[in-house]
Chains A and B, each alone.
Chain A
């Protein structure tokens, strides 16, 4: 799994790539919760995620719920079809805010 964190228009953009599985999801969780602690709107780019399991999804849910509590934005962008399928199986595609592209997300807020 690879990841980057950058700022765009005052928002945090977290990009993950590769496989977010049980071996790597603790790192994904750590990265996401560090971003949450900065109390900024977060966009999570999943375009490069070829595989995600329940532990990776759990990291997203935990970060999402933490942002809800503090009143900041959290959305997913450019979700790879493989990851989208897993979100659909979990019925989380209806829970998360999902944008087709980062530009679309930044245009409308997290």
Chain B
């Protein structure tokens, strides 16, 4: 049986800068909220996408403001599929791990938030063959 077709809800290409995160959050909030997600789920998903973009800005690109982030959002049945692409050197997915929350310290929470909010989180081979593609799936509640 073939997979049901996905509907494209958003395609966004923005500079990889902290000042652009607000625009990304607003776009995600509008799309996700329009899919019938609860206010709390929408806020959680916005946070997760923000954190995933931050990981690209801070770690993959190491703060180079000339680089870009591409975000697409698709809906397939009751799932939202978020694809986040960068064009940085490939990262080692094993190094992107949430930290132990019992170890209370300032950093390292972003990946934990992403894993808590999303039902699936995977780095997959990017179609262009270069960069990184993080695919996140969240079921609509």
A-side residues, CB < 8 A to B, are 19, 21-23, 51, 53-55, 57-59, 61-62, 65, 82, 85-86, 89-92, 95
Among A21, A61, A62, A91, which residue has its beta carbon within 8 angstroms of that of B50?
Answer: A21
Cβ contact within 8 Å between A61 and B104? yes
Binds A, one of B5-13, B107-115, B126-134: B107-115
B-side residues, CB < 8 A to A, are 18-19, 21-22, 25, 40, 43-44, 47, 50-51, 54, 57-58, 101, 104-110, 112-113, 116-117
Cβ contact within 8 Å between A90 and B43? no
Distance from B59 Cβ to chain A, minimum over Cβ atoms (Å):
12
> Contacts A51-B25, A53-B50, A85-B43 hold; do A23 and B106 have CB atoms under 8 A apart?
no
Among B18, B106, B108, which residue has its beta carbon within 8 angstroms of that of A21?
Answer: B18
Q: Decide if the interface of chain A is mainly helix, strand, loop or mixed.
A: helix
Q: Inside 8 A of A23's CB, which chain B residues have their CB?
A: 18-19, 21-22
Q: Inside 8 A of B117's CB, which chain A residues have their CB?
A: 89
Which 8 interchain pairs have the tightest Cβ spacing? A58-B106, A54-B109, A23-B18, A54-B110, A22-B18, A62-B106, A61-B106, A91-B101
Between A51, A65, A82, the greatest number of chain B beta carbons within 10 A of the residue's beta carbon is seen for: A51
Complex Cα distance, B102 from A92, in Å, reads 10
Complex Cα distance, B109 from A42, in Å, reads 24
The 17 sampled A-B contact pairs (Cβ below 8 Å) are A22-B21, A22-B54, A53-B47, A53-B51, A53-B54, A54-B54, A58-B106, A58-B107, A61-B105, A61-B106, A85-B40, A85-B43, A85-B44, A89-B116, A90-B101, A90-B112, A90-B113
